[in-house]
Amino acid sequence: MDRKDLLGLYDLAPEEIGEILDLGLTFKAALKRGEKEHSILKGKSAVILFYENSTRTHTSFELAAKFLGASVVNISVATSSVQKGETLVDTGKTLDAMKNDFIVIRHPMGGAPKLLAETVKAHVVNGGDGMHEHPTQALLDMLTLKEHFGRIEGLKIAILGDVRHSRVAKSNLYGLTKLGAEVRLFAPKTLMPDGLEREGAIVCSSREEAVEGADAVMGLRIQLERQKAGNFPSLVEYAKYYGVDENILHYAKKGAIVLHPGPVNRGVELTSEVIDGETSRIEDQVLSGLAVRMAALSLLNGEGKV
């Protein structure tokens, strides 16, 4: 992969995605064997710059960089200080002046990683920006699928929930369709954005339609404040009409798996039976995340071999 930054899957070629997944599978196998020490990023430094709270993604990026041998610094900035604190451009210049090699950024506003990438010499990795993209989350979902099914091409993936606000749904749509999967989306109309058909999505009018014959069903996290904003009447109603339960999974293909980017609101997007059931791959997704982030950082550094 010959690019400075990883900002989203919208701009990536299918071959680049394939390259990350292949290397990710290698790293995942190594992790399963307990091999955590690599020297690919020895002597390099990475800053994990998060403007939004996150345990899972933050830890995953930090461990990924450390396992590759980089020194890692964490910076957590309160979302509220985006407006009143130092500008992103100035922060970027400062981090660049310290000769950092990688900046992983999570930010509540779409396009912030691009602005940073245009400002700094360091490789910028998008750890999720507003409603825009979350490329490494989609890559880890794809890695999980590829490992489970042995392929992405031809798979039917149903994505259910708050598509409008979901950077995960968008990155998955771009990535999965580029590798030949079929992506069906279902959301309350209040939470379905315009135009994703143009990116190859099949926008469904019922849960059943979305899940029918699917190889995998992905629930999206719902922010509880979306209810207050008038998008649906109550969490109970949301769970009943838009959530993933065992009944709806009967429409999926036999052997279908369940994915969720986490953290899950139990009983809302997914019932506890589904989360803890045998079709769930939610814990496996976490290990895929570590592996795929190691792959992405390695490839941005120009190294495709373990």
Partner 1 sequence: MIFKNAELVLKDKLVRADITVENGKIAAIGNAGGGEAVDCTGLTIFPGLIDMHVHLREPGFERKEDILSGSRAAVKGGFTQICCMPNTNPVIDNKVVVSYIKARAKEAGLCKVHPIGAITKGQKGEELAAIGGMKAAGAVALSEDGKSVADTNLMAKAMLYASDFGLKCLCHCEDRFLAEGAVVNEGYNATVTGLKGSLRAAEDVMIARELLLAESLGLPVHICHVSTYSGVQLIREAKARGVKVTAETCPHYFTLTDDAIKTYDTNTKVNPPLREEKDRLAVIEGLKDGTLDCIVTDHAPHHEDDKRVEYDLAAFGISGLETSFALSYTMLVKTGVLTLPQLARKMSFNPASVLGLEGGELKVGAPADLTIADLGKKWKVDPNEFVSKGKNTPFGGREVQGQVIYTVVDGGIKYSLARGNRA
Q: Which is nearer to partner 1, 198 or 254 (CB)?
A: 198
Could you say which of 146, 170, 184, 293 contacts partner 1 (CB under 8 A)? 170
Q: Which is nearer to partner 1, 82 or 286 (CB)?
A: 82
Could you say which of 18, 69, 111, 200 contacts partner 1 (CB under 8 A)? 111
Binding status of residue 6 toward partner 1 by CB under 8 A: no
Segment interacting with partner 1 (CB under 8 A) among 39-47, 52-60, 124-132, 146-154: 124-132
Q: Which is nearer to partner 1, 18 or 193 (CB)?
A: 193
The secondary structure of the chain, three-state, reads: CCCCCECCCCCCCHHHHHHHHHHHHHHHHHHHCCCCCCCCCCCCEEEEEECCCCCHHHHHHHHHHHHCCCEEEEEECCCCHHHHCCCHHHHHHHHHHCCCCEEEEEECCCCHHHHHHHHCCCEEEEEEECCCECHHHHHHHHHHHHHHHCCCCCCEEEEECCCCCCHHHHHHHHHHHHCCCEEEEECCHHHCCCCHHHHCCEECCCHHHHHCCCCEEEECCCCCHHHHCCCCCCHHHHHHHHCECHHHHCCCCCCCEEECCCCCCECCCECHHHHHCCCECHHHHHHHHHHHHHHHHHHHCCCCCC
Site for partner 1 in 139-168 (CB under 8 A): 167
Binding status of residue 131 toward partner 1 by CB under 8 A: yes
Q: Which is nearer to partner 1, 93 or 151 (CB)?
A: 93
By CB under 8 A, name the binding residues for partner 1.
10, 82-83, 87-89, 107, 109-112, 114-115, 129-133, 167, 170, 193-196, 198-199
